[in-house]
Structure 1
Amino acid sequence: MNTQHYEQIGETLYSKKLDNGLEVYLLPKREMAKTFGVFTTEYGSIDQTFSPIGKNEQVTVPEGIAHFLEHKLFEKEDRDVFQDFTKLGASPNAFTSFTSTAYLFSATQHIQENVRTLLDFVQDPYFSDESVEKEKGIIAQEIRMYDDQPDWRAFFGTIQSLFQDHPVKVDIAGTVDSIQDITKEDLYTCYNTFYHPSNMTFFVAGNFDPESMMKLIEENQNAKEFEATPTIDRSYPDEPKGVAEAHKVIEMPVSVSKCLVGVKEDTEYLNEDTFLKTDMMKNMVLDHFFSKSGEFFETLYNEDLIDDSFHFETHLDKSFGFTIIGGNTRNPEKLSERVKGMLHELKGRNLTDEEFNRMKRKKIGQFMRSMNSLEFIATTFVQYRHLGIDLFQVLPAIESLTKDEVEEHLKAWIDEDRIAVTEVRPSEE
């Protein structure tokens, strides 16, 4: 078992790559009452086209199948796994993102039993024709529910405006029509391809002994048989630099309009060496210029252009990236002009030393506070791990940033051809 101590944040991480390829990370925090475990596979909604294990030709599976598979793993032939965790006093959950699927629990007792339960249910799939058909109705209701939510429609409408061909433009849950094509055989194909231990990470953080925990996990995995480590061949279409639609209007029964400005990020130049710094710089800049504590927010708020729903988010990954800024507004056209104007203004912005130092101090403070959240540590560590990045190197990465680097980032960031505006307006009926 490898041990890595991070002096700056006072944490010690234990890790081991098991014989079956599973990467295990343990972060004991004895001061915590709770323990959090997450079992993650590097398989998300964008992984629609790939070569199944044992086959040379690629297949394209129905949209939404990764999310569908997440749902189905909790249901076994004789029981629902949620009940297993409940009996052990744990709170289980799961989520599917664009690039991964995660299964997790939090608990204050029976930690070893909960860890076994998490490992065992994810590694024991059971799909039947009847249960798959039943699930289609459940997920279809979920999709319709999200389709009726203005915030979700605005968010995904912006992503669809930004991307022309990349599967990130497809709703993570798929569509009501697409999930109808999912079969039991499709689920097993995806499971057998992407749920091999060599494509997965297991992270536990909280109140436990690392030696006994690693022994438990290793014994659990050694008692199971797995195929030889596969090579996963995924395929994504070439994505043009420009946006799919510069301006989209969605009409819905809302009382107040919404306006989101999206930026299609250029990820071609990113690698393991530049990714973390770029991600940090983007977050620092957005937080400084678009957060509720900034001058820009105050100006727009005083002009009655926005309310407290105004926000920003940014997401960078290997094959795509986007930034979204906006919220409720009484004047979508004016708000989009102001946000776009601010983005273009940043392109030539020379930061003062005070501005830059304030940005760094705030980001460092946010990161240090996040270290008190087991959920943040575990899920973000695994997310970064898939990108070849060590979460615990974030602090030195922030500290090493220079004002010149941030200004260079700003100069290369904004291009009008990579900006799309999405509005949700009250329907006329």
Structure 2
Amino acid sequence: MIKKEYAQINETLYTEVLPNGLKVYLLPKMGFHKTYGLFTTNYGSIDNYFGYENEALHQVPDGIAHFLEHKMFEKEEGDVFQIFGQQGASANAFTSFTRTSYLFSATDRIKDNLVTLLDFVQAPYFTKETVEKEKGIIGQEIQMYDDDPNWRQFFGMLRNLYPNHPVGIDIAGTVESIADITAEDLYLCYHTFYHPSNMTLFIVGNIDVEEVMQWVRDNQAAKTFAPIRPIERIFPEDSYDTIKPYDQLAMPISRPKTVLGIKGLQQKLPSDAKEKMIFRSALHLLFQMLLGNTSANFLRLYNQGIIDDTFGFEFNLDRAFHFADFSTDTDDPATFEKEIRAILLNYRQDPEVNEANLALLKKKTLGKYFQSLNSLEHIANQFTQDLFGEYTLFDMPEIIQSLTLADLYRAAEVFIVPQAFSRFDLIPLVTAENAE
């Protein structure tokens, strides 16, 4: 076991890579009653075209990673949720663009629940009948999201930015795409991506590190896995040329909603893991300075009625893509785009971007970061999303403190470019009733 102490945040992380390739992270948190276990595979909705190196590639239906997540809880002997419930634990799972995670939280019987987590994720059970039954359930979930304006707005923006990339496709797929999923497809994806060498186990709580690590070692040593093989994932070439500058969708909403997206090119990203964390943090801070809710730009746009309380923005950097989005409800989407574009493209001339504001914002960001470490849920969920090589969530204070205006300018120079923008609007659906 490798022990790494983070003196600044008073945390100690223990890491071990097992013979089967599974990466195990343990974070003892004395004084907490609850323990979280998170078992994650580096596999998400965008991984639909893949294979092993030097072998034939496979293309599978959209939404299969999410479908597989649902099916993992159903076993021949019953529902795994019931087992966790009988052991005093709550369990859940979620699928993102690049990861699928299974988790439990409990205050006692930690070994029982940890073993249950490992065993059910490592024992797939799919039949033609159970797969067909699940299609109806997930189809209803997809239709529910189709009625959600914020969800439709987000994926409308992504389709504009990534018309040929699977990140522009809903994580759950479509009713049509999941209709093509078979039990054989599920086993293919499972055996490719659920190998221990493509997975991480993160446990945080009031735990005895040596004891818990031995539980994991014993559990994994009793199982047989295929040899470790590198996975090849295929994605379209990255360029600005395919971006759709504008699109819209009519929905039964009372006021227009708009989102302005910016697409980053993977080939422009730093190759070094630490530099990627710096790049991401630099853009986070720059956007806060330019458009945070205490900035002069925000107050001006708010007072002019161009944005309202729904205004927000985020920057996402993941394994095969990175983008930013700025959204609001507004009666004038075109003016919103014009103003946000101008603010972002003129970042070097903006008086808000200065050393004093950067120092203040770094302190504020660090304060929120330290506060977040009081939540085991936040730590567990964020940790596996923030793995940049050997750098983790716990390296963030050092990254934030080291940032300079030069770092912000370097990141903006390669990311905020005119040809990277796209706007997507949701407009009120005009019906015969309200047309009168």
TM-score by length of 1: 0.96
- Once the two structures are overlaid, the 10-residue window that deviates more, 208-217 or 358-367, is 358-367
- Which amino acid counterpart does residue 168 of structure 1 have in structure 2? V
The equivalent residue for 2:45 is 45
- Once the two structures are overlaid, the 10-residue window that deviates more, 265-274 or 342-351, is 342-351
Establish whether residue 62 from structure 1 lines up as the match of residue 61 from structure 2. Answer: yes
The equivalent residue for 1:29 is 29
Quick check: 2:28–2:205 contact (8 Å CA) kept in 1?
yes
Give the aligned length: 428
Between the two proteins, what is the percent identity of the paired residues?
Answer: 44
Displacement of 1:353: 1.9
Q: Secondary structure at the match of 2:339?
A: helix
Report 1:178-257 matches (<5 A).
Answer: 178-257=177-256
The equivalent residue for 2:377 is 375
Displacement of 1:239: 2.1
- Which amino acid counterpart does residue 21 of structure 2 have in structure 1? G
Quick check: 1:64–1:173 contact (8 Å CA) kept in 2?
yes
CA deviation map 1:85-130 (0-9, x unaligned):
1112212111111111001111222212111111111001100100
Displacement of 1:349: 4.0
The equivalent residue for 2:270 is 270
Give me the whole-angstrom Cα distance separating, in 1, the residues matched to 2:223 and 2:349: 58
Q: Secondary structure at the match of 1:99?
A: coil
Give me the whole-angstrom Cα distance separating, in 2, the residues matched to 1:259 and 1:388: 38
- Which amino acid counterpart does residue 119 of structure 2 have in structure 1? D
Q: Secondary structure at the match of 1:181?
A: coil
- Which amino acid counterpart does residue 368 of structure 1 have in structure 2? F
- Once the two structures are overlaid, the 10-residue window that deviates more, 153-162 or 393-402, is 393-402
Give me the whole-angstrom Cα distance separating, in 1, the residues matched to 2:279 and 2:5: 25
Q: Secondary structure at the match of 1:38?
A: strand
Establish whether residue 283 from structure 1 lines up as the match of residue 274 from structure 2. Answer: no
- Aligned counterpart in structure 2 of residue 362 of structure 1, from 361, 364, 368: 364
Give me the whole-angstrom Cα distance separating, in 2, the residues matched to 1:129 and 1:52: 26
Quick check: 2:26–2:204 contact (8 Å CA) kept in 1?
yes
Give me the whole-angstrom Cα distance separating, in 1, the residues matched to 2:28 and 2:323: 34
CA deviation map 1:313-368 (0-9, x unaligned):
11112321110111211222222222112111215446322111112112211221
- Which amino acid counterpart does residue 236 of structure 2 have in structure 1? P
The equivalent residue for 1:11 is 11
Establish whether residue 132 from structure 1 lines up as the match of residue 134 from structure 2. Answer: no
- Aligned counterpart in structure 1 of residue 418 of structure 2, from 394, 416, 419: 416
Unaligned runs of 5+ in 2: 432-436
Report 1:381-396 matches (<5 A).
Answer: 381-385=383-387, 387-396=389-398
The equivalent residue for 1:333 is 334
- Which amino acid counterpart does residue 98 of structure 2 have in structure 1? T
Displacement of 1:147: 0.8
Give me the whole-angstrom Cα distance separating, in 2, the residues matched to 1:76 and 1:124: 9
The equivalent residue for 1:176 is 175
The equivalent residue for 2:308 is 307
- Which amino acid counterpart does residue 82 of structure 1 have in structure 2? F
Q: Secondary structure at the match of 1:44?
A: coil
Give me the whole-angstrom Cα distance separating, in 1, the residues matched to 2:111 and 2:370: 28
- Cα distance change on mapping 1:232 and 1:80 into 2, 3 Å: same
CA deviation map 1:245-275 (0-9, x unaligned):
1011110110111010000013313221410
- Which amino acid counterpart does residue 250 of structure 2 have in structure 1? E
Displacement of 1:410: 2.9
Quick check: 1:46–1:99 contact (8 Å CA) kept in 2?
yes
Q: Secondary structure at the match of 1:229?
A: coil
Unaligned runs of 5+ in 1: none
The equivalent residue for 1:152 is 151
Give me the whole-angstrom Cα distance separating, in 2, the residues matched to 1:121 and 1:379: 20
